C-alpha cells in the first residue's frame, strides 16, 4: 500500500477558508482521480471517482474500499481507500505565502495516483463573512462582495500528490507526513 496526500493551493482574492462545501471531510464531495496501473503502467482512460460516503465490497468480500477497479490492460485488481480527518481549509494567509493545504489522504493499492480534477461544490468566505458557493471545474471563480464592496475571486488553483507515511500517535489519531 502507498499513502498519497493530496494537497492544494490557489490565489485567493479577499476570500479565505477554501474547502469543499461540506468541509474537508464532506461525505458527498466527489474526487476525480487519474490512476495508473502499478504493474503494467497503463493509465486508465476514465477518471476514477471516489466519495467518502460511498464504499464498495472488496473482491475478497472482507472489508470495503471507496473504489475497486481492475486494470483493463493487465487485469490486476486495485483499490483505493480514503482516509478522512486530514484536511484543512486553505486560508488567505496560506494562499499569500503560496503554501499548500492538506485535503485528503488516499490509501492506494495497485494504482499510482497521477492526477486530480477540481470540480464543483467548493466554498469560501469573504472577509465580511459572506459564504460563496464555488465551482472550480474551470479553475477560476470571480464575484463581488456587496457588503465589503470589493471583488472576490479564486484563480491559479494547483494540487500535488505526495507519498507519505502513516505515523501512529499514542492516544491520538494517525497523522500522515
Q: Which residues bind Zn ion (CB under 5 A)?
A: 37, 39-40, 42, 71, 73-74, 76
Neighbours of 149 (CB within 10 A): 8
Tell me how far apart the alpha carbons of residues 34 and 12 are, in angstroms, rounded to a whole number: 26
Q: Which is nearer to Zn ion, 39 or 147 (CB)?
A: 39
Q: Which is nearer to Zn ion, 114 or 156 (CB)?
A: 114
Residue where the block lists cell 472482507? 62
Cβ atoms of 131 and 123 closer than 8 Å: yes
- What cell was used for 81? 481507500
Cβ atoms of 133 and 19 closer than 8 Å: no
Query: What is the nearest approach in angstroms of Zn ion to the Cβ of residue 166?
Result: 26
Query: What is the nearest approach in angstroms of Zn ion to the Cβ of residue 109?
Result: 13
Query: What is the nearest approach in angstroms of Zn ion to the Cβ of residue 36?
Result: 9
Query: In which element (H, E) is residue 71 found?
Result: none
Cβ atoms of 55 and 44 closer than 8 Å: no
Q: Which is nearer to Zn ion, 14 or 69 (CB)?
A: 69
- What cell was used for 16? 479565505
Q: Which is nearer to Zn ion, 40 or 56 (CB)?
A: 40
Tell me how far apart the alpha carbons of residues 9 and 84 are, in angstroms, rounded to a whole number: 19
Tell me how far apart the alpha carbons of residues 117 and 137 are, in angstroms, rounded to a whole number: 7
Query: What is the nearest approach in angstroms of Zn ion to the Cβ of residue 40?
Result: 3
Q: Which is nearer to Zn ion, 34 or 88 (CB)?
A: 34
Query: What is the nearest approach in angstroms of Zn ion to the Cβ of residue 41?
Result: 7
Amino acid at each position: 500500500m502507498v499513502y498519497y496526500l493530496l494537497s492544494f493551493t490557489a490565489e485567493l482574492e479577499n476570500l479565505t477558508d477554501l474547502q469543499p462545501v461540506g468541509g474537508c471531510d464532506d461525505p458527498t464531495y466527489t474526487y476525480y482521480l487519474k490512476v495508473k496501473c502499478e504493474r503494467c503502467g497503463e493509465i486508465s482512460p476514465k477518471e476514477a471517482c471516489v466519495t467518502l460516503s460511498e464504499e464498495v465490497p472488496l473482491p475478497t468480500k472482507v472489508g470495503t474500499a471507496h473504489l475497486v477497479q481492475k486494470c483493463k490492460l493487465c487485469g490486476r485488481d486495485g483499490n483505493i481507500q480514503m482516509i478522512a480527518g486530514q484536511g484543512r481549509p486553505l486560508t488567505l494567509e496560506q494562499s499569500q505565502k503560496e503554501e499548500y493545504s492538506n485535503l485528503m489522504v488516499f490509501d492506494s493499492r495497485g494504482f499510482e495516483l497521477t492526477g486530480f480534477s477540481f470540480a464543483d461544490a467548493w466554498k469560501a468566505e469573504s472577509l465580511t463573512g459572506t459564504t460563496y458557493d464555488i465551482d472550480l471545474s474551470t479553475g477560476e471563480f470571480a464575484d463581488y462582495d456587496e457588503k465589503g464592496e470589493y471583488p472576490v475571486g479564486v484563480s491559479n488553483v494547483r494540487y500535488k500528490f505526495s507519498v507519505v507515511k502513516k505515523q501512529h500517535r499514542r492516544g491520538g489519531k494517525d497523522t500522515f507526513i
